[in-house]
Amino acid sequence: MAPPTGPRGGSNNRKPTARASRGGVAKHRAATRTDRDGDVSMGAPISGSNPPTGPSGRGTRGRGAARGAPARGSRTSSRLAQNLKNYIGEGGSKHAKTTLKILGVKNSKAASNSDGGVKGLLQFIERKADKDKKIVLGRGVLDGDYVWVKANKDDVSSIMHLNGYQYAGAPITIEETTEPFPTGTKFSKDAADTRQKLLALLAKRYNAEQKLLDLSALGTDDILGNLGAVGSQSLAEKSFRAIIHVAGEQFKTAEEKRQGIQSVSLARNEISDVDQVFTLAYSLPHLRRLDLSNNRLATFSSIAKWKQEFRYLEELYLVGNPVTGVADYAVQITQWFPCLQILDGNIVRSPQEAAEALKAMTPQPLAQLPSNLRDGENNVASIFLRSFFQLYDHDRPALAAQFYDAESVASLSATPEPGRDVEWKPYMKYSRNIQKLGGSRNPAVVQRLFTGASLIAEMWKSLPATRHATLDQPELWIIDCHTFPHLADPSGHGFAMGLMINVHGQFEEADTTEELYGTRTFSRSFILGPSKPGAPHPYRVLSDQLTIHKWTPRAAGAASVPVTTGAPAAPIAPVAPVVAAVPVIDDATRVQLIQELARRTGMNAQYSELCLSGTANWNFDLALQSFEEQRANLPPAAFTAPA
């Protein structure tokens, strides 16, 4: 808003000038007067609940309007602003806020401070989060072991990189949450009095029968006038946010609020940009009828901030605003609100067209495509995955020894569901979720990248026992495999071809420490490449990235994942023989085994070797058994041509 152009009170000797093009929610004054902040002006007497059909008259000013700014000047205005701020807290801001939980302050040296170390912690975060940008946090609340605070959504990524940092001698853990912010805050007497007056305002402006919240011409409201709540633009906007906040508190659930307030009138408030009342879109996103008539919205840009917001809005009134004279006005507004059927009293869509427009604007889930295994004639990916998940469920140390070496890297990423910290506890200390850790500057990003078979096996030991479905149940898996060129050949001779395998599925999980049993979905990405000479398999895992998804508790009466003591704690009734450790076999013996298997099965030497070196691990009897199981799936090229 533009700054004021003259004294607040004006002068009787001055000639009236045209009203400046300011808007928002402020008191309606004589044309020559502007307040010090470029007020949000609230104009004429309260209209009825019916939408206006044309420009309204100015009307006479009520008693509240005649009072002007608070008589006690800036200190009174500041106190009122603080009362409003204390009441609405951080939740009434027009900017998107994210709730953060910070663990660790109770273990710090600052815990003995009078406020439990909260103030110092928040100052530390504000100072360290971003050197190039000023971070401002909301009021912190110490509740149990956590400090709760709200931050601007745009600042969260900068704040999260402090995850794992030391504060006053103790590490801190920062996480986002959708849990309700701790309640029970006691307000000052003045703030409580302000709340009661706002409740009185709502009582006379809410029509339960029409489900209408009539906030038209707020500048003439006696209650707001007595409060001095519209004496400046900043006070007026805070007052509006407080009104919306108090209104929302009267409903126990979001659904009750959705049903209880379906219409809102903001007519005759001299609003020049919806940003001044933007909080309405956050608090009442499912609004069906909105009256913005006889304000000062002049361009599409003054309304554009609400584009894509009120997706279920069916009626909108903008008559009496200059924007209605702009070319393509009706077309543009109709496009912004998919369910809009009535604009300024005119039908612009049928209910069927509105439903189709909403569907077109709503993101649709991608179709689930079948697995795509392109691993060549050797079936390397299929053989590897069968062996991998069986060993992961039964013998993780043996799995690491067979398919991983000193150059293999593995990582785990977990995004815990709000309110289910216990179910995610085994994974969180290893989780390398960059979004949660806050970027590469957090040392945990490096520490949680496990390199080498021994470290990977140690990490696996701490994870819950699992049982994956067999690959013979394709409806439970999505597997994509593609060639991955230009891998360094471990022999040192140029480049080699590898495979990238992406797996999506689910497994049964048993966490015996917390006595939790359930099912979890996951995604896992592998990059396979040729092994070094002398390795137990011709290929190795170069990269293994596991992403843990949703956890669902086991249904009552369902069989649990059987678990015994010892490491690894995942002995599950096998559907195929458990693969033993790879024996040490010399080259001559390998050649003899390949020749004998080829003679017994009719396969060529290449497929005979793959059969022996796969899940059979050079066990001849297991190789024969595997051949019999897979015989029908083998291509003609696997067999020796008849003489």
CATH number of residue 171's parent domain = 3.30.70.330
- Look at residue 438 in the predicted model and tell me its pLDDT: 60
Assess if residue 43 is contained within a domain.
no
Assess if residue 196 is contained within a domain.
yes
392 has pLDDT over 90: yes
Domain boundary, last residue among 143, 177, 211: 177
Strands in 97-103's sheet, in edge-to-edge order, are 141-143, 146-152, 97-103, 173-177
Q: Note whether 508 and 562 are within 8 A (CB).
A: no
Give the Cα separation of 80 and 76 in Å (integer): 6
pTM over 0.85: no
**Residue 601 CB neighbours (<10 A):** 20
Tell me what percent of the residues of the chain surpass a pLDDT of 70: 72
137 has pLDDT over 80: yes
Within this chain, do residues 333 and 249 fall inside the same structural domain, yes or no? yes
- Look at residue 8 in the predicted model and tell me its pLDDT: 35
- Look at residue 187 in the predicted model and tell me its pLDDT: 53
For the segment 292-305, what is each residue's pLDDT rounded down to a tens digit? 999 999 999 999 88
Residue 21 identity: S
Give the Cα separation of 511 and 33 in Å (integer): 70
Q: Which of 49-53, 286-290, 477-481, 549-553 has the lowest mean pLDDT?
A: 49-53
Assess if residue 310 is contained within a domain.
yes
251 has pLDDT over 90: no
Give the Cα separation of 401 and 541 in Å (integer): 11
- Look at residue 399 in the predicted model and tell me its pLDDT: 94
Within this chain, do residues 518 and 413 fall inside the same structural domain, yes or no? yes
H/E stretch holding 609 reads helix 605-613
Within this chain, do residues 193 and 292 fall inside the same structural domain, yes or no? yes
Contacts of 488 (CB under 8 A, 6+ apart): 495, 496, 529
The residue-averaged pLDDT of 88-106 equals 70
Within this chain, do residues 429 and 314 fall inside the same structural domain, yes or no? no
4 has pLDDT over 70: no
When comparing pLDDT for 185 and 461, which is higher?
461
Assess if residue 366 is contained within a domain.
no
Q: Which of 181-195, 290-304, 605-619, 627-641 has the lowest mean pLDDT?
A: 181-195
Assess if residue 565 is contained within a domain.
no
Within this chain, do residues 377 and 499 fall inside the same structural domain, yes or no? yes
- Look at residue 405 in the predicted model and tell me its pLDDT: 93
Q: Which two tokens stand for residue 231?
A: 């004496």
Within this chain, do residues 615 and 475 fall inside the same structural domain, yes or no? no
- Look at residue 157 in the predicted model and tell me its pLDDT: 83
329 has pLDDT over 60: yes
Bridge-based pairing of strands 516-530 and 346-347 is unpaired
Within this chain, do residues 278 and 301 fall inside the same structural domain, yes or no? yes
Assess if residue 419 is contained within a domain.
yes
**Residue 129 CB neighbours (<10 A):** 21
Q: What is the CATH number of the domain that holds 216?
A: 3.80.10.10
Domain boundary, last residue among 497, 524, 548: 548
Within this chain, do residues 390 and 537 fall inside the same structural domain, yes or no? yes
Q: What is the CATH number of the domain that holds 394?
A: 3.10.450.50
Give the Cα separation of 161 and 174 in Å (integer): 9
The residue-averaged pLDDT of 432-450 equals 68
Assess if residue 68 is contained within a domain.
no
- Look at residue 70 in the predicted model and tell me its pLDDT: 40
503 has pLDDT over 90: yes
Within this chain, do residues 469 and 389 fall inside the same structural domain, yes or no? yes
Assess if residue 156 is contained within a domain.
yes
Within this chain, do residues 209 and 136 fall inside the same structural domain, yes or no? no
Q: Single out the residue of 519, 401, 426 nearest to residue 466, CA to CA.
A: 519
93 has pLDDT over 70: no
Cα angle at 236 between 234 and 237, to 5 degrees? Answer: 65
Domain boundary, last residue among 177, 206, 226: 177
H/E stretch holding 282 reads helix 279-283
Bridge-based pairing of strands 263-265 and 289-291 is parallel
Q: Which of 69-73, 78-82, 156-160, 222-226 has the lowest mean pLDDT?
A: 69-73
Give the Cα separation of 641 and 643 in Å (integer): 6
DSSP annotation of 639 reads: B
Residue 290 identity: L
637 has pLDDT over 50: yes
- Look at residue 638 in the predicted model and tell me its pLDDT: 75
Q: Taking all residues of the chain, what is their mean pLDDT, rounded to a whole number?
A: 76
450 has pLDDT over 50: yes
When comparing pLDDT for 315 and 251, which is higher?
315
Within this chain, do residues 352 and 318 fall inside the same structural domain, yes or no? yes
Number of domains in the chain: 4
Ramachandran sector of residue 98 (left: φ over 0; alpha: ψ -120 to 50; beta: rest): beta
Tell me whether the omega of the peptide bond preceding residue 474 falls within 30 degrees of 0, making it cis: no
Q: What is the CATH number of the domain that holds 608?
A: 1.10.8.10
Q: Which two tokens stand for residue 147?
A: 């400090």
Within this chain, do residues 406 and 432 fall inside the same structural domain, yes or no? yes
Select the highest-mean-pLDDT range: 38-42, 509-513, 569-573. 509-513
When comparing pLDDT for 446 and 55, which is higher?
446
Residue 403 lies in domain:
373-548
When comparing pLDDT for 570 and 151, which is higher?
151
